[in-house]
Amino acid sequence: MTDLTLYNTLMGRKEKFTPLDADNVRMYVCGPTVYDRPHIGNARAVVVYDVLFRLLKHLYPKVTYARNITDVDDKINAAAKANGEPISALTQRVTQWFHDDMDALGNLRPTIEPRATEEIAPIIALIEKIIANGCAYVAGGEVLFEVGKVGQLDEYFYGKLSGKKLEDLIAGARIGKKDHKRNPGDFVLWKPANPGDDLSSVFDSPWGAGRPGWHIECSAMSSKYLQDFRKSEDDPARYDFDIHGGGADLKFPHHENEIAQSLCGNPGSHFAHTWVHNGFVTVNGEKMSKSLGNFITVKDLLDKEVKGEVIRYALLSAKYNEPLDWTERRLEEAEKALEKLYRTVRILKEDDGSYIAVPYNHVKVLLPDDFLQTLTNDFNTYESLMYLHRQVIKIGKARSEESKLHERRILVECGKFLGFFEQNLNESHHWTKESREFHAKLANVVKTALDDTYINEQIALRTTAKKAKNFAEADRIREELAAQGIILEDSAQGTTWRKA
Ligand SMILES: [Zn+2]
């Protein structure tokens, strides 16, 4: 089997990936906080881990991929209040948006998608263990994690993942209103409800009614769904699961805190073995933000008729752990690239059955080693896209029809593996902006022509109805056209029409 190497942020090096249990590889990725439409930065993480999920599925017999939905959070409470709607209505709607938009980009659904509000019991149980182990305390109505207590837990120390120094965090942090904290770096595990809070965000706990902090849910849910129960508590080399992924912006404080909580709550466990982080997305070199007006959601792009596969291609066109700058040019290049790939697949008239417009079906295909190596070597999706283009050249150079078909089959299989070639070949003829505009114009011309024909037909039917003294039918036709903005005018010469 081809060795998989991944850059492990926790160790600060590229490592050969060895699953804890080769019969069930387990991956956890931090999912969305459901208060707004997913933007392209959110989408990048989903697409990157989707390809990693596909790769693991290809390499191992079983993969369990858990991605949470954060449906209890201050941002959710604030958004629901601003919209004047119940929290549950907001979180349900935004969860649906997230699924719709991520499906449109060709992402497979994770194996498990736990929601924080449905996992309050394991969250409380973990907080109780952390308190019992002396790493958390109750103050000001909150349960706080005491970062100073982490010390050296096995090989882990607080700040190992993010490269932050505990002393700096303590010295650098401003003491704000939360002066009940023993240490400015301490973070919330449970916070009390505020008067008037929507009850769907309020839960009973041993510390009073309230809700969990953000970090604790990932510690609780990843362990609940992915922990390797076959190993004993006292096995010093025990990890809960193989891969923990998320955006680089989550390294601190979110992921650092996840590790600290899990190690304090489950002594002897090292939590996740390999920490994978995908890079930031900037827009024209700037950080994406609503105030800068450069905030791009997946839906914005889909509404502009940019195809899901184009967005996916653009998001995979940089190495996963490097920053990706989103520009009009990157999008245009992705459109051109896909147009070329589809054109190449379509141009061979003889169909050998290797192209079917259906999503990747998880059935293992024999992928060429050199293609797989682009991904197994720290997961270089840019190289794997380049591989597709080298196949295009190979097809062009192939001398016999047979070898053309052979190379095409490889192109289709590798492309499908990456989440492309899910469009019907006959419908894939307007990928680029120019082509889309041309087709939109054409469709308009056809529509206008059809409208004229339709109206004239209706006028003729009405005239016939009038002659037969069927005035009810004649009036019905007139009213129906009026409802569509077409006004009929009768004169001695006959009936004419105009737009209202
Ligand atoms: Zn998380």
Q: What is the mean pLDDT of residues 329-334?
A: 95
| pLDDT in the model for residue 319 | 94
380: domain CATH number is 1.10.730
Q: What is the mean pLDDT of residues 394-413?
A: 91
| pLDDT in the model for residue 428 | 54
Verify that 29 and 50 share a domain, yes or no: yes
Q: What is the mean pLDDT of residues 34-58?
A: 96
Verify that 350 and 485 share a domain, yes or no: no
Give yes or no for residue 349 having a pLDDT over 80: no
Tokens of 182: 């023993």
Give 29 Cα–ligand 1 centroid separation in angstroms: 7
Instruction: Report residue 224 CA to chain centroid gap.
Output: 22
Q: How far apart are CA 369 and CA 379, in angstroms?
A: 14
Give 375 Cα–ligand 1 centroid separation in angstroms: 25
Q: 453-495 pLDDT, tens per residue?
A: 888 888 999 999 999 888 988 998 888 888 777 889 898 888 9
Verify that 444 and 423 share a domain, yes or no: no
Verify that 440 and 403 share a domain, yes or no: no
Give 32 Cα–ligand 1 centroid separation in angstroms: 9
Residues spanned by the domain of 442: 433-499
Q: Which protein residues have a CB closer than 5 Å to ligand 1 (ion)?
A: 30, 218
How confident is residue 232, by pLDDT bands cut at 50, 70 and 90? low
Residue 260, C-beta contacts closer than 8 angstroms, at least 6 positions apart: 135, 145, 147, 150, 158
Give 89 Cα–ligand 1 centroid separation in angstroms: 23
Q: Name the burial class of residue 102, with classes exposed (0-12), middle (13-18) and buried (19+) by CB atoms within 10 angstroms of its CB.
A: buried
Average pLDDT, whole number, for the chain? 88
Give 25 Cα–ligand 1 centroid separation in angstroms: 19
| pLDDT in the model for residue 269 | 81
Give 480 Cα–ligand 1 centroid separation in angstroms: 56
Give yes or no for residue 450 having a pLDDT over 70: no
Give yes or no for residue 227 having a pLDDT over 80: yes
pLDDT > 90 in the chain, percent? 62
What does DSSP say about strands 281-283 and 272-278: parallel, antiparallel, or unpaired? unpaired
Domain count, the chain: 3
DSSP codes joined into one string, 334-349: HHHHHHHHHHHHHH--
| pLDDT in the model for residue 354 | 65
Verify that 317 and 246 share a domain, yes or no: no
Verify that 56 and 188 share a domain, yes or no: yes
Q: How far apart are CA 338 and CA 429, in angstroms?
A: 10
Q: What is the mean pLDDT of residues 285-305?
A: 89
Verify that 374 and 237 share a domain, yes or no: no
Verify that 44 and 12 share a domain, yes or no: yes
Domain's final residue, options 378, 412, 427: 427
Give 72 Cα–ligand 1 centroid separation in angstroms: 13
Verify that 203 and 107 share a domain, yes or no: yes
| pLDDT in the model for residue 382 | 95
Buried b (16+ CB within 10 A) or exposed e, 6-25: bbbbbeeeeeebebbeeebb
| pLDDT in the model for residue 165 | 82
Residue 130, C-beta contacts closer than 8 angstroms, at least 6 positions apart: 136, 145, 189, 261, 264, 265
Give 439 Cα–ligand 1 centroid separation in angstroms: 44
Verify that 231 and 140 share a domain, yes or no: yes
pTM: 0.85
Q: How far apart are CA 358 and CA 482, in angstroms?
A: 43
pLDDT > 70 in the chain, percent? 89
159: domain CATH number is 3.40.50.620
| pLDDT in the model for residue 169 | 67
Give 68 Cα–ligand 1 centroid separation in angstroms: 8
